[in-house]
Amino acid sequence: MTNPSFLKNPSTKIPPWLQPLWDSLEFNALPNAVLLYGQTGIGKFDFAIQLSKALLCEEKSAAVPKPCNCCEACRWFESGNHPDFLPLVPETHGKFLPHSSVEGIEESSGGKKSKSSQSDETQDSSEKKEKKNISIEDVRSSIEGLSIGAHRGGNRVVLIYPMEMLRSDAANTLLKSLEEPIGQTIFILVADRLDRVLPTIRSRCRLLAVPRPERQTGLEWLNNTLLNKDKINVPQEELGSIYDEQGGSPYAARMLVLARHNKDEKDEAALAHLASRHLLQGLAKGAEIDWLEIAEKIHKAPIRVLLITQQRWVADIESVHQAGIVRYYPKQLKTLRELSSCINQPRLLRFWKNLLRARTYENHPLAARIQLEVLLLEYKQLFNG
Ligand SMILES: [Zn+2]
């Protein structure tokens, strides 16, 4: 029995919805820069790690799929010691890279022991701001190192994630080396938001859109991974809700389940989830929302998460209003219907724009509490009568 996917990917670290993308890649014919982009929590970072490994794998036989996981290069890679693999990630993301005890962890997977998971949903707190950026020094020293030949005589891979965290001076340094490729160096850039990547960088990369799975596929993967790998059994209905609330991002949903399972009260993801719950309870009240009380309860949670929750809630109100469809909070259909029936459209549009604007500053929030109060008061006024 032949299974081409399995042959090409014996490690099965590529989740099923990314397999077609993986199969489409010609490892020998990649341009010197690729930019992977797509929604947070769908497997981009794992994918980029596997791609880096495949590009560095030294298995000679064309019959053996890469990465072979057996050659010296693969072993070096897995132990985090491959000299030609140059990951540029903020300090806060270092734990997501391969090293002896860690297997591939997606950008938003909490990992089993990770205390401060840095998912899209959790990365925020101003004291960590510095560490979250990728500094000019790191970029410069990595790029300067490129002028010396590859240590092992093959490819060299520079992995940068998340591109949004690249400071602009660092981005300019990167740009120069994208303009003048050095030897067999391949840049793998990963971004959650393509619109946050400088156009000059985008235009020098092959863009690879990373898809979100179909709900059924994503849920199956989530369930299997939780059962087989994490040994956690979550009732199907609950799992479905978590999945939808995470916008159909299986890795993000897994991280949340892990954090809750570990009852890690310091886990940012778990805290953020709790704050989102409070926020949702408030939002469900529409014009009756006690905006001051809610802001008081939640303002210490990452503003990013709170903004995303508001965006999703409002998107659902709008979607119910227009087409009767719910994407994120299907259990709240009744409430969403009631709210959408008395919505003031022009105000909703303005509110939506304000949420978008707030998100552009989410990594540098000023006075998060005041910002929340303003938004929640505005939300309260969306409803007529
Ligand atoms: Zn290998």
Q: What is the pLDDT of residues 173-218, one digit of tens each?
A: 888 888 877 778 999 999 998 988 989 999 999 999 999 999 999 9
Tell me, in angstroms, the distance from the centre of ligand 1 to residue 57's CA. Answer: 4
Tell me, in angstroms, the distance from the centre of ligand 1 to residue 223's CA. Answer: 30
What CA–CA distance (Å, rounded) separates 14 from 44?
Answer: 10
What CA–CA distance (Å, rounded) separates 250 from 213?
Answer: 8
Tell me, in angstroms, the distance from the centre of ligand 1 to residue 179's CA. Answer: 30
Tell me, in angstroms, the distance from the centre of ligand 1 to residue 366's CA. Answer: 47
Distances, alpha carbon 303 to alpha carbons 60, 239, 297, 340, 368, in Å: 49, 25, 13, 25, 7
Tell me, in angstroms, the distance from the centre of ligand 1 to residue 98's CA. Answer: 15
Tell me, in angstroms, the distance from the centre of ligand 1 to residue 149's CA. Answer: 20
Question: Taking Cα atoms as reference points, which of 192, 257, 222 lies closest to residue 17?
Answer: 222
Tell me, in angstroms, the distance from the centre of ligand 1 to residue 104's CA. Answer: 16
DSSP 20-78: HHHHH--GGG--SEEEEE--TTSSHHHHHHHHHHHHH-----TTS-SS-S-SHHHHHHH
What CA–CA distance (Å, rounded) separates 328 from 111?
Answer: 25
Tell me, in angstroms, the distance from the centre of ligand 1 to residue 24's CA. Answer: 19
Tell me, in angstroms, the distance from the centre of ligand 1 to residue 230's CA. Answer: 27
Q: Which CATH superfamily is domain 4-209 in?
A: P-loop containing nucleotide triphosphate hydrolases (3.40.50.300)
Tell me, in angstroms, the distance from the centre of ligand 1 to residue 192's CA. Answer: 29
pLDDT score of 104: 37
Average pLDDT over residues 20-28: 92
pLDDT score of 365: 64
What CA–CA distance (Å, rounded) separates 12 from 15?
Answer: 7
What CA–CA distance (Å, rounded) separates 131 from 89?
Answer: 10
**Helix (H), strand (E) at residue 140:** helix 136-145
Tell me, in angstroms, the distance from the centre of ligand 1 to residue 326's CA. Answer: 45
DSSP 274-298: HHHHHHHHHHTTGGG--HHHHHHHH
Tell me, in angstroms, the distance from the centre of ligand 1 to residue 34's CA. Answer: 21
The domain locations on the chain are: 4-209, 276-385
Q: Residue 161 — φ and ψ, nearest 5°?
A: -150, 140
Residue 204 CA to chain centroid, in angstroms? 23
Confidence of residue 270 (pLDDT cuts 50, 70, 90): confident
Fold agreement (4-209, 276-385): no
Tell me, in angstroms, the distance from the centre of ligand 1 to residue 82's CA. Answer: 12
Tell me, in angstroms, the distance from the centre of ligand 1 to residue 74's CA. Answer: 4
pLDDT score of 33: 94
Does 310 score more than 80 pLDDT?
Answer: yes
The token duo for 99 is 């090293």
Question: Taking Cα atoms as reference points, which of 214, 218, 192, 209 lies closest to residue 15?
Answer: 218
Does 2 score more than 70 pLDDT?
Answer: no
Does 231 score more than 70 pLDDT?
Answer: yes
Average pLDDT over residues 363-372: 78
Tell me, in angstroms, the distance from the centre of ligand 1 to residue 222's CA. Answer: 28
The per-residue pLDDT for range 324-348, each reduced to its tens digit, is: 888 889 889 999 999 999 999 899 9
Tell me, in angstroms, the distance from the centre of ligand 1 to residue 38's CA. Answer: 28
Tell me, in angstroms, the distance from the centre of ligand 1 to residue 67's CA. Answer: 5
What CA–CA distance (Å, rounded) separates 168 from 158?
Answer: 18
- Chosen CATH of 276-385 out of 1.20.272.10, 1.10.10.1200, 1.10.260.40, 3.10.20.30: 1.20.272.10
Average pLDDT over residues 300-305: 86
Tell me, in angstroms, the distance from the centre of ligand 1 to residue 66's CA. Answer: 6
